[in-house]
Structure 1
Amino acid sequence: MNCSRSLYVRACVVSLILCSGALAVFGQSQVNKPVKVEDRRPPSEKMAEKRWTIKRRLVQNTVTRYNYYYHAKLKLEGVLKGINTQRQDNYNVFLPFYPFSVDKLNLNTTDLDSVIQKASVAVQIHDPRSKWIDDCYLLVGKAYYYKGDWENANNTFKYINTTFAPKKKSEYSTVIGRSEDSQLSVSSREKEKNWFSRFRHKSARNDAFLWQARVYLEEKKHDEAQSLLNILETDPYFPRRLEGQLAELQAYRFYKQGLYRETIEPLKVAIKKGKGSRDERARMSYILGQLYFSQNVPDSAMDAFRDVIARKPDALMDFNARVQIARANAKVSGANMEQSLAALQRMMRKERFLPFKDALYYNMASIVANDDPNRALDYLHKALKVENPNMLQKTLTFKAIADIHYFQKNYLIAQRYYDSTASIMGPEFADAELVNTRKEVLTEVAKRIDLINQEDSLQRIAALPADQREALLARKVTIIRNEKNAPVKKGEDQQYQAYNNNNRYNNSNAPGNNGDAAGDWYFYNTGSKSSGYSEFKRRWGNRQLSDNWRRSQGASIASSANKQPLTDELPATDNVAANIDRLPADSINSNVLAANLPVTPEKLAESRTKQMDAWYELGKLYHDKLENPRDAIASYDSLLARFPDNPRKAEIMYSLYVWHEKMGHTQEAARYKQIVLSQFGGTSYANYIQFGLPKDENKERTKAVSAIYESAYMAYLTGNYDTVLTLKRQADSAFQFSSLQSRFDLLEAMTIIKTGTEDEGKNAIAAVIKKYPGDDIILRQATMISDALNKKKEVVDYLSNLQVARDSAGNAIVDENISIRYPWQSPKPDLKDSAAVVQKPATDSAAVAVAPPPPPPVTPYKLGDEKAANPHFVVMYFTRVSKVLVDEALAQFSKYNAEKHVTDKVETSSFVLTPTEIMVIFRLFPSEDKALDYLDEISKSASSVIIPRIKPTEYKFFIISRENFILLNNTKDIEGYKKFFNTNYITE
């Protein structure tokens, strides 16, 4: 019993020991077991490590294509289809190459983000070896393109071109390009030899090249786009299936740059080989017809438009193609204009073209506009009467009427039609800027004419005897009161109609009125409806069709308008008729009408002054803004006839002299010139005619003129020649005459030399020489330029035959001891030999010593006034010419200024003084002290910090004022200014 118990105890102890050991071992194993690391790589990377079996290939290709790529592609096509239906094209001007403009799509980015998401998921969760992965990337790039995200689009297409490049050894050389028959190849080869190859999957890499070029074009990187397209065009391996798209992009590149003649040939290839839809190819054919028409090739244009009709486009394009055929037919040699008009008339009788009746009238007017403007106006007024919700066509019709009146110099009528055009045209209207500009200018012209007519009417009424004036006013009070309660019949009280300032407009010329519908009911009167629509838009703006719009959106405006106070007195403004219209009928009486009549000498003088100012401003508007010197002369002639003793007579006489001379009226110009010189001899205008330098110019005027001249001069230096001419015209218009006029004229002549023909440049500089014989600086500079122009051929021949010695590296060998002498210059005298010649009196037998050359002229550099603002430049002058040195300095100093002088906005640029003297300019410092501080700073840091690779012996620094800089550029006397700088700025 005891034995069995002891055995049992021993067994338990052993079991406990074994269990404890097992637990210890198990616990130790649990402690030492490594923690499992979670693999967070995307599924695509994991799949790439597995074997690419036939089963996996089939599954991955199928799922990637139909579960993701297909739906993303379908989504993108739906977005593009919606874009094409949003735009209303103007078929009378060049159509946009594509039916949308990427920068103006204003798309809901959610749809495009959905495309990117679907395609991106396919890339992340499927095997990267699937043949549809590159197509998914291509969809992502396209979506970024349509979003206008050029950077991401470009990066995506670049990624496709590098990642999916051929990997086989035999094709590796094509990745970096290889020479085959002297042609560079970058494309991926596609099998196109047999019929079955068309059903094979095509790599998206070649498509990505084209889309990358398209992104470059949208970014206006035309050089990069041209380089890529030229490589693809000559690539022997570029697939034939993409030749149409390649030609399309070539055409788009030319079309986008306005090179219409060059666009024709690639566009023809794109139409022939392109794989686009029927509508896309019809659009290209229509553009091709427009290009031929613009190049005056009507036969080819008609063929292109017939091709458009054959492609069965939408009704609007089909109609416009037929219209363009009729217009082109009118230009064909031997064609009759009436035949084209008859063709359009026949279209008008067909039911399917009834919705385009106004467009037909518009195009009929376009055909006859040059030969018979009045007939064109008749067609256009008929177009306005046609009921059509197409506001684009209504806009074109209004603008066409305005243009005809504008070129006929009927500015008042043109102004009203431009105003009507501006009130209904959309923001994308092609000529919106032109319409707004002309509307504003003509509005100013109309205001002056209105004011002149109004003051004439007021003066005539004021000149009547008191009893007649009172009777007229009393009668008019009755008419106005009745008019406010009921419409007044046509022709009532024509005498006071002038006072109401309505006689200046002929009813037959009112917008939308053809002259025979003045008494029509409102809804039959096109002019009334169009003016009512314009008034509605002006007052309420563009509003969506909805119930109770006026109550919900306009009640506050209407209520505030009704709360304006009413008084018995006429408000003090210039337009009397407009103010009377604001008053209620009960508030109008004879006193109200007589309030603005010039019945006293003071009011009469004020009225005449208003007219004088209006005539004067009208002449300037005609000449400066409308470029119509004939009407400007007529305005000033009327001003002198009405007010012969006006205070601006001297300036008006001078303007008439200048304008007649510009128009070639020699006798009239001479007559006004003689009047200015004889009657106004002491004025600045006479001085300007004689010497070109007006006297007694105040400081404010000089400062203003100098600011404009500086801007013009810097624009010339930077090559902005259009800006130079614009600023010159502004200065002439604003100041007429100034102390800088001679410099303005010289600058204008130099600009003409740069932009005009050789004869125009010579004539311009000759005019400056003739005009300023007493101005030594201008005369010397103009003479030098004239000599250079006259010797241009000799310079070109000399430089063409010049032999330049070069070293083994191909660099030109420059000997600083050799000075260049052109063939027409006299030999440089040997001063050492000539100094040794003993001067003797000249006799018949004695040789006369050669006289040394005269000393160079002294340049009148001056120190500025310390109290006045005196802007300065800091100049880095190189002791030898080297483009490498200039580029190095320009880059390093630009970087230095961007880091150290951010708030000062110091600009750094290169400046060529002469072909052998190039400088770096730092501008603009407000004072001499600021320039000196900057000079000291860069002088200490240049050799050690900023430009350590350029030797200090190769450059020098100095400062120069703005006025002295202008003199330096005119005279090219760099040595003279260096002496001036050392004398006045350098202290020992």
Structure 2
Amino acid sequence: MRSAFYFLLLCVAFVLIQSCSPEKNTWTSKAYHNTTAHYNGYFYAREEVQKIENTIWASLSDDYNRVLRLYPTVDTALAKSYDKDIQESIKMASLAIQRHPNSKWVDDCYILVGKARLYSLDFGNAVQTLKFVNTKSKDPSARHRAIIQLVRTFTEYKEYNNAQSAIDYVSKEKLDKTNQKRLLMEKAYFYQEQADYDNMVRNLSQAAPMLRKKDRPGRVYFIIGQVYQKLGFESEAYNYYKKCLATNPEYEVDFYARLYMAQVTEISRSKSVNAAMKSFRKLLKDSKNKEFKDKIYYEMGVFELKQKNINNAITSFKQSVREGNNKRVDGEAFLRLGEIYYDTLRNYKLSQAYYDSATQALPPDYENYEAIKARQEILDEFVGNLNVIQWQDSLLRLSSLDSVGLRSIIDSAYQAKKALAEKSVGKKKKRNRIDIETTDNVFGNIEGSGNDESADWYFGNPSAMALGQTEFRRIWGDIVLEDNWRRSLRSSKAAVTNTASMDSTTIVASQKEETEAAPADPVGAEYAKVNAQIPRTDDQKKEALKKIEDAYFNVGEIYYFKLKEPENAADYFTRLLKRFPETEYEPEILYHMYLIYKDSNPARAEEYANLLRTKHPESTFAKTLDNPDYMKESNLANEKQKSLYQEAYASYQDGDYNKATSLINEARAIGVTTFTPTLRLLEILIVGKTDDISKYQYQLGEFAKENVATDLGNYAQKLLEASRTVQDAQTMKAGVTYIRSLNEPHYFVMIYRNDEKLGNMPTLTLEKLNTDNFRELNLKTSNMVFNPENTMTLVDGLPRVSFAIEYMKSFNEKLATLTELRSHKFHSFVITKDNFDILYRTKGLDEYLQFFEKNYPKEAE
């Protein structure tokens, strides 16, 4: 009996040994290889791939402000973290393929290898592996799975044409239910990657009934709800959010599903609105939602906006910013507020502030970020120009005050702030966000006003100051008095500051990071800051008025072309013409006014047209008015001039200046075009070759002035500087010669070596001298580098030689009492502006000192 048992055992062992051969095709061989391939190679390879997929899913950070991703993305850094798992999965699958080539798990192992290579970002080999299965496999289901995985691979590789071809091919095949579901999911992902949400949701909706627990149905239902909500099908979105909740998803998905359900509640009666708001309030009260309060308030704002409750929407969006710390939610709330103030309320100053905050908070990959950024830049430009008008007008008003009056005003403002702060000590409210609000400019709304009465000015109006203090407290809260008080806001979670209520110059100065110690005299520091910007001389006032003129024109242009508000554009253009009747912008403004009123008020439009024809008949705008094709014809003239210019320039290079001049004259006879300045510059170059160098330099200088801030003007300036450099070199070679005409404005100059380390002592000494003895001259003090070894300090504004000599005498008398300066070596002298140009170009200091000693009276020494 025992011998029979051993014989039977021996037979079974023999059969099993015979089954191990991969070439055998018996049922025992198949059973052996199928079992071994499945539970050894394939099983362990699948476990490794599953581990990799879990790692990839764990790396996904869902952004619930967007439609969630169906699948997480894979990047190089993440792929490196599971490289060992990749190698192990490929190794185990490859062993199963090599040792059990006839098993039914070979195709599955190849598909696992393809997946692993996809997750390792080895796209080329992944594609080849999956194509091999499709070509060689005899199992239709395996071939279909390989092609569906190929769709995913091409999608991840962004080869959408190949992915579409694979979709078209496999869609014609007869698929089992599992593969149908897989194909629908991969197609949905394919369309999501291309932002085709319509086709995405169609495929997901078809796949939804086939989903099983391992497919994360709650997440998929939520995504379907998000897409339907995005597309405007709110009832469908509501149904899928409800289905999502029925699957008991993870808490975050559950929260957002409930939040969005309230958002898409169908509103037909007031009780429905109340029900929706009740849902929001319920979510707010739930302690588990504490970290989501900002998002709840944001969605409440969106809901109120849909009901056209603008004020409630604004309140909710602001509350969203105050609650929580989600930068992206903040950015979206700021964006919504910016849109409300831009599109609905037309308050561009507030809109600019919110858009500015939105662009800082939102990531660059945010949907339509470029368009948001473009609008923010338009508003920045717009508000910046408005601030220039207000600030420069304020400075012009301040220019009529003496130093005592100015300091008194600044001191009053400081004391008012100090009293307010001291009154509110101990009552400071902590906030994590600051509202963006705007008031009139701190110096009052004085755009374009010519009234000098102090009642119109902020600090001269007690009512306005009281209102300002109240507004200050409302915006900034109750703060403890301290110098550089805005720095205290940086320690809080304040996201924005009031960028619309002050001039851009003061905003930059006040909000800049300050590392230096607080000034001992804050009033004095503020006085110095403001006083330095006040225009005192006629030239400075002209410069300020020019800034206002340019800003008015820019505001009108932005209103007309970018904000599409012609009536407001006309208002600013009218203000500009009234305040600056000689403005260089008049031809263009008259043309714009004609276009603005052309359809709405033809009679008024014709008035502007006649005015343009009368005052500026040769302007491009007048010619365009009478000939709409003028610009087209002008372009043709340009092209003809360019052709003649090329011939003229070739003749110029060949030295045939007469022919070049003749061709230029022929080109200029065609008419004045935008190419005319180029012809003029070539004329000047010919002068440089055929005429006196002084005439050449003069014409270059005039051309540079006429074409300032253009490429041609800059080029002419460089040519002029190069010519002067050559001339200076020749002068140096021949010897420096100074001009003996002394009856013109002078500079006082100190030149000292850098190693003397005088610091700001020369500047302080000369400024005190100016204040004590020459206040009425409004002298300016500045520093310049004379050469690598020496620095110079200049006093500008001495109108005649007699003043220059008197100044030099006063300096020499003062020097005896200045031990800090007296112990150092330096040269001091007075010099005319023309001679200073020669001195600075040639560096001929010794020559000038000899000239000075010889030509100026001894009293100047």
TM-score by length of 2: 0.58
- The within-5 A match list for 1:293-442 is 293-331=229-267, 336-370=272-306, 371-386=308-323, 388-407=324-343, 408-442=345-379
Q: Which AA in structure 2 matches 1:215?
A: T
SS at match of 2:264: helix
Match of 1:246 among 158, 169, 183: 183
Report whether the alignment pairs 1:228 with 2:166.
yes
State the distance in 1 between where 2:354 and 2:491 align.
10
Distance 1:579 1:210, change over 3 A: closer
The aligned counterpart of 2:550 is 613
The aligned counterpart of 1:94 is 67
Deviations 1:534-563 (A, max 9, x none): 7899xxxxxxxxxxxxxxxxxxxxxxxxxx
Tell me by how many angstroms 1:115 deviates.
1.7
Match of 1:687 among 612, 620, 623: 623
- The within-5 A match list for 1:591-740 is 593-661=530-598, 666=602, 668-694=604-630, 702=638
Match of 2:24 among 43, 51, 55: 51
Query: How many percent identity over aligned positions?
Result: 22
Match of 1:473 among 390, 393, 407: 407
Q: Which runs of 5+ in 1 are unaligned?
A: 1-46, 167-187, 190-202, 538-572, 708-736, 740-988
- The within-5 A match list for 1:200-279 is 204-236=142-174, 238-275=175-212, 277=214, 279=216
Deviations 1:603-643 (A, max 9, x none): 11100101111222233334444445454444323323332
Match of 2:443 among 495, 498, 508: 498
Distance 1:526 1:607, change over 3 A: closer
Tell me by how many angstroms 1:513 deviates.
11
SS at match of 1:329: coil
The aligned counterpart of 1:868 is none
Tell me by how many angstroms 1:351 deviates.
3.0
Deviations 1:645-692 (A, max 9, x none): 21111112212333444x855555444333323332231101111113
State the distance in 1 between where 2:467 and 2:322 align.
14
Tell me by how many angstroms 1:345 deviates.
1.8
Match of 1:131 among 104, 107, 115: 104
Superposed CA RMSD in Å reads 4.8
The aligned counterpart of 1:518 is 477
State the distance in 1 between where 2:588 and 2:570 align.
13
The aligned counterpart of 1:846 is none
Match of 2:89 among 118, 135, 138: 118
State the distance in 1 between where 2:570 and 2:121 align.
52
State the distance in 2 between where 1:278 and 1:397 align.
34
SS at match of 1:107: helix
Tell me by how many angstroms 1:595 deviates.
2.4
The aligned counterpart of 2:519 is 585
Match of 1:449 among 380, 383, 386: 386
Tell me by how many angstroms 1:477 deviates.
5.4
Q: What is the number of equivalent residue pairs in this alignment?
A: 580
| 2:90–2:116 CA contact under 8 A, matched in 1 | no
State the distance in 2 between where 1:485 and 1:60 align.
92
| 1:423–1:534 CA contact under 8 A, matched in 2 | no
Distance 1:120 1:669, change over 3 A: farther
Deviations 1:565-605 (A, max 9, x none): xxxxxxxx982564478685258465553222123221111
State the distance in 1 between where 2:144 and 2:387 align.
66
Q: Which AA in structure 1 matches 2:249?
A: P
State the distance in 2 between where 1:337 and 1:705 align.
70
Q: Which runs of 5+ in 2 are unaligned?
A: 1-19, 425-438, 447-456, 498-502, 644-672, 676-861
- The within-5 A match list for 1:38-187 is 50-52=23-25, 57-58=30-31, 60-96=33-69, 98-102=70-74, 106-112=77-83, 114-124=85-95, 125-164=98-137, 166=138
Higher relative contact order, structure no. (Cα contacts within 8 Å, ≥ 6 residues apart): 2
Distance 1:478 1:149, change over 3 A: farther
SS at match of 1:471: helix
The aligned counterpart of 2:505 is 575
| 2:201–2:227 CA contact under 8 A, matched in 1 | yes
SS at match of 2:62: coil
| 2:237–2:264 CA contact under 8 A, matched in 1 | yes
Distance 1:325 1:482, change over 3 A: closer
State the distance in 2 between where 1:528 and 1:449 align.
29
Tell me by how many angstroms 1:84 deviates.
2.9
| 2:421–2:478 CA contact under 8 A, matched in 1 | no
Distance 1:296 1:609, change over 3 A: same
SS at match of 1:369: helix
TM-score by length of 1: 0.51
Distance 1:610 1:702, change over 3 A: farther
State the distance in 1 between where 2:327 and 2:76 align.
21
| 2:52–2:86 CA contact under 8 A, matched in 1 | no
Match of 1:460 among 385, 397, 406: 397
| 1:619–1:635 CA contact under 8 A, matched in 2 | yes
Distance 1:228 1:293, change over 3 A: same
Which structure has the highest helix share of the two?
A: 2
State the distance in 2 between where 1:506 and 1:305 align.
54
Deviations 1:346-381 (A, max 9, x none): 332233333322222111110122512222111112
Tell me by how many angstroms 1:114 deviates.
3.3
| 1:251–1:267 CA contact under 8 A, matched in 2 | yes
